[in-house]
Amino acid sequence: MNGILPLYKPKGMTSHDCVMKVRKLLHIKKVGHTGTLDPNVEGVLPICIGEATKIIPFLSDLQKVYIAEIALGKSTTTEDTDGEVVEVRKVTQAPSDEEVKEVLQNFTGKIEQTPPIYSAIKVKGKRLYEYARKGIDVERPVRHVTVFSIEKLPLNSETTNERIRMKVTCSKGTYIRTLCVDIGEKLGYPAHMAYLQRIESDSFHLDETYTFSDIQQKVNNQDIEALLLPIDQGLRHLYTLNVDEDIKEKVLYGQKLPLPKKHIETNPFKVMFQDKLLAIYEKHPKNKHEIKPVRVFNL
């Protein structure tokens, strides 16, 4: 069984929990995910199965898209709803749409972020949350990330004027929690992330996803294969080099090949024979006249 299962991760589960549950449901050990989501976050979590686990390193650097809500007037230790309250300030007048939109634009492009103390970033061999739980102060490394766009969205009727709803398209490693806190600070209030949903990850979209209930139903109907997308669909961002039957055999044996005369637009790139994914290759780092395999698939 090989392919990509676009899972809709529910709240309350870690990404590792999801991997373990998929293993149990599908009775397969070779399973991995392509980008961690915190337990209180829901949304798109592509799960790679079988030979698809080989492409995980080629997916994690792609952009993500989120729907987030900022709650103004209260900050927490974890920068979301799970933490202890740090500061409270009453929101006497909600910022206008114009104020919010102006502030949001300040956070587009390449920005600096200081990761939350309750995060999995490693400092001196330990996760930041390990220091936090022991009450140890530690200097957090500044990270550089890219926010491609932020769009203010209408609030749901049930939410208050102390909330700001937005759509964020960003690079790998962006902490939406921290973004919410920083935006609140620019608006003059302590803030935290009240809600987060990932609607796109690694070129997989919300409308492609399956819930665990959907998966269980497919298992019951012995229709597991219907859940899986082809492995090459996870490599839509890579250039495709199509080869003939003779070259196909060389690729499957993991041989180096002469650099094609045609312009290769990405590095690495995928090699295919007809509609079959054979391998991921890259330009040889030491010999500019060759290409060499990075991953070869046994499909």
Reply yes or no on whether the pLDDT at 83 is more than 70: yes
**What confidence score (pLDDT) does residue 185 get?**
95
Our count of domains for the chain comes to 3
Q: 115-165: per-residue pLDDT in tens?
A: 887 777 788 778 878 877 878 888 888 889 999 999 999 987 665 678 999
Residues 214 and 266 in one domain: no
Residues 87 and 52 in one domain: no
The enclosing domain of 87 has a CATH number of 3.30.2350.10
Residues 56 and 153 in one domain: no
Residues 58 and 68 in one domain: no
Our separate counts of H helices and E strands in the chain read 6, 18
224 secondary structure, DSSP code: G
**What confidence score (pLDDT) does residue 197 get?**
97
Cα separation of 142 and 175, whole Å? Answer: 12
Which residues, other chains included, contact 6 with Cβ-Cβ below 8 Å and sequence gap of 6+?
44, 45, 46, 47, 204, 208, 209, 210, 229
Average pLDDT for residues 202-214, to the nearest whole number? Answer: 93
Residues 90 and 169 in one domain: yes
The DSSP annotation for 97-111 comes to: HHHHHHHHHTT-EEE
From 201, 221, 256, the end of a domain falls on 201
Reply yes or no on whether the pLDDT at 60 is more than 80: no
Distances (CA, A) of 44 to 18, 35, 65, 170, 220: 12, 10, 10, 15, 23
Cβ distance 37 to 9 under 8 Å? yes
Distances (CA, A) of 3 to 94, 103, 207: 47, 42, 18
pTM of the entire predicted model: 0.89
Mean pLDDT of the chain: 91
- Band (pLDDT 50/70/90 cuts) for residue 61 is confident
Q: 93-104: per-residue pLDDT in tens?
A: 889 999 999 999
Residues 197 and 68 in one domain: yes
What is the span of the domain harbouring residue 273? 238-296
Average pLDDT for residues 82-96, to the nearest whole number? Answer: 91
Reply yes or no on whether the pLDDT at 10 is more than 80: yes
Cα separation of 238 and 275, whole Å? Answer: 15
Residues 192 and 95 in one domain: yes
**What confidence score (pLDDT) does residue 160 get?**
67
Residues 42 and 92 in one domain: no
Residues 280 and 248 in one domain: yes
Reply yes or no on whether the pLDDT at 88 is more than 80: yes
Catalytic residues: 38
Residues 9 and 50 in one domain: yes
Of residues 65, 57, 70, 46, the one with CA closest to residue 170? 65
210 secondary structure, DSSP code: B
For a pLDDT cut of 70, what percent of the chain falls above it? 98
